């Protein structure tokens, strides 16, 4: 029968409901509010990601990592020969149904070969890639081999003694531990990051010996100063932490914050190159090399001749070849600012505690781990106590028959039915069923006095051990003492020296490193069509005629230094900033750089004028077609940051005729389309700091007239300059004779 379509119900405003859906099996469409759908579908997904995938727990592991390690433990890969990784992945799928690729990826990150952990949990053989390289991918699981590393003995210590809870796997065919009874705070020793839904976790690694020492000190004295024993994180890739005490204190107290990590490098004087051996954990070799190459191409770094990745069997190595005379320290200061050779590691100690995600500081995190470990030791002690009591109980029964072994043999021989042996022994010696069963199962060869006496000798030692275990269970201090002893033993056995050095922030010069620019005299040329040339005086003297585009001409020529700053004003009221050093030295025989393309002007935008400065002294006089002129201080274009483009560089109310750079007030000659000329001194116009000021009226124009030319007056240019010199605003004067012919030709 076809499904009957139901018309959407009105919500009172004439609109259809926000969402429609259907109830499976009901056979009809029903309306459903979108927030109900999200609550029913998205929230369970979000909780699953938070609780079962992305956020580590107090033992330091995410569920996928824990399943891999436990599978390897059950495969007897602790202290034995390696097996193929594909075999491990296949066995892990009994606990983790998310696919072999996801399992192998997680296993690789736990391995020694990948080098992402201070203390790897997987002893690997074969190509497992490198965490510091994006392109060095790991081999397929069928080619590599692995087993558990020796430190995993501390993760699985006494796991078979009911130290942690076991739960069913996804299809209820196996049991797996909900946590691992880690005997050291692994949650802080190895880095762990994860992104859940609406929250994330990023735990930086700390030195194992320092963590164990700090935890033991906190157990002894809850008010212990953590900074005295746990200075800073310790990354597996080494590097240098720029130590900021306040930032570190924030991370320790709140579990959130960030720290700066630098690379470690050496300078090879013989080869004139920098060798980088350790990089921050947040970057890769390829990112660094690509960024340096990009900086060299942009002309921001000129001291480098080559950079290459020389990583090999000896480990990570990036080599940077330098030009002669380059200061490596100054260059590295610039590279720290411009590349990820110095990067930021963000910390977010978000840990699942009893199924609840909590962001904890170091002290709170170690306290939670201590509480977890206390419970593990308590459960282990109770397990041992129960086993010893059971054994003692059996030995008490064995002791009872010692008084008359012949009687026990006679009871067994005279009993007709096998099922009556145990009850008859119970009656004959006054023992319970468990003891009688134990006695009845003794082999005939063991029914000698020597065997029985040796078993009874164990009674005293068992009684002593039981009293000891009961005292431990009754005293939290005794349990804490055991944990401290275990931490001391682990630190001594597996502890390693720090890999990451500390650089104290207050001892580092944080001034912005100045770019090393060779300073020498140059001649700068700017043409009407927007072409630019930088030519050295020697090349200019040896060169021939200037090569220009057909119909183009040079409108600005100036002597300057190679370190001078250039301001290119466009016809769209914008200015683009550059440095003379950004342009290559060229010759008169080349056309030069096309400025709109070189400084990346907007489409359809053209270069209109150029200003050259080294100190931003003086001003710029903007002359517009409507007869107005605006005088703007050159300092208005100075910026504290390295901005390359400034909008509203001048007024766009009227087309620009000229932008004249003047170090001091001078006479300027204006020419109108009517042929009239006006000569005035720029001192008559007050300077403005507002770049897009409309200016003041300089030359009065009749309807349909406009300014066609404006330039700085040159001595001898006019036969009678006084005839044209007026106070502004003025109409100007018409030229006469040869003077007029010359000016109109402009």
Q: Residues with catalytic annotation?
A: 143
H or E segment and range at residue 21: strand 20-22
Which tokens sit at 117? 């952990």
Cα–Cα distance, 698 to 732 (Å, whole number):
10
H or E segment and range at residue 619: strand 619-624
Residue written as tokens 């790991």?
138
Parallel/antiparallel/unpaired status of strands 575-579 and 707-712: unpaired
Residue written as tokens 């926000």?
18
Shortest CA distance to 456 belongs to which of 401, 407, 416, 374? 401
Q: Are 695 and 629 in contact (CB under 8 A)?
A: yes
Cite the DSSP H helix spans in 201-277: 208-220, 245-254
Q: Are 93 and 100 in contact (CB under 8 A)?
A: yes
Backbone angles phi, psi at 594, to 5 degrees: -85, 110
DSSP 688: B
Residues 6+ away with beta carbon under 8 Å from 180 = 59, 61, 66, 69, 70, 155, 156, 159, 164
Q: Is residue 359 left, alpha or beta, with left meaning phi > 0 and alpha meaning psi from -120 to 50?
A: beta
Q: Is the dihedral of CA 72, 74, 75, 81 positive or negative?
A: positive
DSSP string, 657-677: EEEEEESS--EEEEEETTS-E
Cα–Cα distance, 97 to 103 (Å, whole number):
9
Angle at 550 between CA 545 and CA 554, to 5 degrees: 55
Which tokens sit at 156? 């699985």
Cα dihedral 585→586→591→593 (10° resolution): -20
Cα–Cα distance, 370 to 598 (Å, whole number):
63
Cα–Cα distance, 600 to 596 (Å, whole number):
6
Separation in Å, CA 343 to CA 184, 241, 287, 319, 335: 30, 10, 12, 19, 11
Angle at 439 between CA 435 and CA 445, to 5 degrees: 160
Shortest CA distance to 190 belongs to which of 240, 120, 113? 120
User: What residues does 258 pair with on adjacent strands?
Assistant: 346
User: What residues does 609 pair with on adjacent strands?
Assistant: 569
- Give the 3-state secondary structure of residue 492: helix
Q: Are 237 and 115 in contact (CB under 8 A)?
A: yes
Q: Are 56 and 201 in contact (CB under 8 A)?
A: yes
Residues 6+ away with beta carbon under 8 Å from 476 = 374
Cα–Cα distance, 43 to 293 (Å, whole number):
46
Which tokens sit at 179? 């946590």
- Residue ranges with strand state E in 78-237: 83-84, 122-125, 145-148, 166-168, 175-177, 192-195, 200-203
């Amino acid at each position: 029968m076809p499904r009957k379509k139901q018309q959407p119900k009105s919500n009172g405003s004439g609109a259809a409901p926000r969402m429609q859906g259907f109830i499976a099996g009901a056979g009809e469409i029903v309306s459903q509010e979108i927030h109900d759908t999200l609550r029913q579908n998205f929230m369970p997904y979000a909780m699953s990601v938070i609780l079962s995938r992305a956020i580590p727990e107090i033992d330091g592991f995410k569920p996928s990592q824990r399943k891999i390690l436990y599978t390897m433990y059950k495969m007897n890969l602790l202290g034995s020969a390696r097996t193929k990784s594909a075999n491990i992945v296949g066995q892990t799928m009994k606990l983790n149904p998310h696919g072999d690729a996801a399992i192998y990826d997680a296993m690789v990150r736990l391995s020694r070969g990948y080098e992402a952990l201070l203390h790897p949990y997987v002893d690997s053989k074969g190509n497992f890639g490198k965490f510091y390289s994006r392109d060095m991918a790991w081999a397929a699981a069928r080619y590599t081999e692995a087993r558990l590393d020796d430190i995993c003995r501390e993760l699985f210590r006494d796991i078979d003694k009911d130290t942690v809870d076991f739960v069913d796997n996804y299809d209820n065919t196996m049991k797996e531990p909900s946590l691992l009874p880690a005997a050291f705070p692994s949650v802080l020793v190895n880095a762990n990051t994860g992104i859940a839904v609406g929250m994330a976790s990023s735990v930086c690694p700390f030195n194992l010996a320092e963590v164990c020492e700090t935890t033991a000190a906190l157990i002894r004295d809850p008010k212990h100063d953590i900074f005295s024993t746990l200075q800073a994180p310790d990354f597996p890739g080494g590097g240098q932490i720029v130590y900021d005490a306040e930032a570190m204190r924030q991370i320790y107290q709140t579990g959130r914050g960030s720290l700066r990590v630098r690379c470690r490098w050496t300078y090879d004087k013989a080869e004139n190159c920098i060798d980088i051996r350790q990089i921050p954990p947040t970057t890769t070799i390829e990112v660094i090399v690509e960024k340096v190459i990009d900086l060299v191409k942009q002309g921001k770094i000129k001291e480098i001749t080559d950079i290459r990745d020389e990583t090999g069997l000896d480990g990570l190595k990036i080599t940077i070849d330098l030009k002669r005379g380059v200061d490596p320290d100054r260059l590295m200061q610039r590279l720290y600012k411009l590349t990820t050779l110095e990067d930021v590691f963000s910390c977010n100690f978000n840990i699942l505690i009893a199924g609840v995600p909590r962001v904890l500081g170091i002290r709170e995190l170690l306290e939670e781990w201590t509480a977890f470990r206390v419970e593990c030791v308590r459960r282990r002690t109770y397990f041992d106590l129960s086993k010893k009591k059971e054994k003692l109980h059996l030995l008490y029964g064995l002791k009872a028959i010692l008084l008359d072994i012949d009687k026990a043999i006679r009871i067994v021989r005279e009993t007709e039915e096998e099922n009556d042996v145990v009850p008859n022994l119970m009656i004959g010696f006054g023992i319970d069923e468990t003891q009688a069963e134990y006695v009845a199962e003794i082999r005939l060869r063991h029914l000698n006095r020597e065997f029985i006496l040796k078993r009874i000798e164990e009674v005293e030692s068992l009684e002593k051990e039981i009293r000891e275990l009961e005292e431990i269970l009754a005293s939290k201090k005794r349990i804490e003492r055991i944990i401290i002893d275990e931490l001391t033993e682990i630190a001594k056995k597996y502890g390693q020296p720090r890999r990451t050095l500390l650089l104290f922030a207050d001892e580092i010069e944080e001034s912005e490193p100045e770019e090393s620019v060779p300073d020498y005299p140059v001649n700068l040329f700017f043409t009407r069509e927007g072409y630019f040339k930088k030519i050295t005086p020697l090349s200019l003297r040896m060169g021939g005629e200037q090569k220009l585009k057909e119909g183009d001409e040079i409108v600005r020529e100036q002597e300057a230094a190679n370190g001078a700053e250039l301001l290119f004003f466009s016809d769209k009221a914008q200015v683009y900033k550059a440095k003379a050093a950004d342009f290559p030295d060229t010759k008169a025989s080349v056309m030069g750089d096309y400025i709109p393309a070189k400084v990346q002007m907007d489409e359809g935008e053209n270069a209109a004028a150029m200003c050259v400065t080294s100190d931003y002294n003086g001003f710029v006089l903007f002359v517009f077609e409507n007869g107005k002129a605006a005088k703007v201080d050159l300092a208005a274009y100075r910026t504290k940051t390295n901005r390359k483009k400034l909008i509203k560089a001048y007024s766009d109310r009227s087309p620009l005729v000229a932008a004249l750079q003047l170090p001091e007030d001078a006479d300027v000659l204006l020419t109108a389309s009517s042929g009239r000329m006006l000569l005035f001194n720029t001192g008559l116009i007050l300077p403005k700091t507002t770049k897009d000021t409309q200016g003041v009226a300089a030359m009065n124009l009749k309807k349909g007239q406009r300014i066609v030319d404006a330039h700085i007056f040159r001595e001898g240019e006019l036969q009678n300059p006084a005839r044209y010199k007026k106070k502004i605003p003025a109409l100007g004067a018409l030229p006469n004779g040869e003077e007029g012919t010359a000016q109109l030709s402009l």
